[in-house]
Amino acid sequence: GDSSGVVRVRTGEFGCSWVPVFSSAAVRTSEAEKHWLVGLDAQGVFCVVCTDSAPLPAVHPRPVLQMLPLKVPLVSSDTAVGGMEEQHFRSTLMM
C-alpha cells in the first residue's frame, strides 16, 4: 500500500493503469487502527492490525493475520447490480 493506505493493482485494461482495490481508511474500526500489509490475493488483503500505541507488528508471539476484503471503487456499488459489477471487475483484474 501507499502512505495513504490505498493498495493498487496494475491492469492491462484502461491503458495499463493502476486501479485501487483496497482502502485502509474504508475498513478501519477506529482512527487508531493501522494495517500492516503482508499479502494480497484475489479475495483480499492479508494484514496485521496494529494501533497507534503499537504501530509495528509483534515478532514474538507471531502476529495473527486478518484477511480484509478487496473493494474496487465504482460509481454505484451500493446496489445489488453494482455489487455484482464490482465483483466481476475485481475478478478480471486479478487474472
Does position 94 have pLDDT exceeding 50, yes or no? yes
At residue 95 the predicted structure's pLDDT band, cuts being 50, 70 and 90, is: very low
Query: Would you call 70 exposed, middle or buried from its count of C-beta atoms within 10 A (0-12, 13-18, 19+)?
Result: buried
What count of other Cβ atoms lies within 10 Å of the Cβ of residue 16? Answer: 8
Question: Using CA atoms, how far apart are residues 78 and 7, in angstroms rounded to an integer?
Answer: 21
Does position 77 have pLDDT exceeding 60, yes or no? no
Instruction: Provide the mean pLDDT of the chain.
Output: 82
Mean pLDDT of 8-33: 85
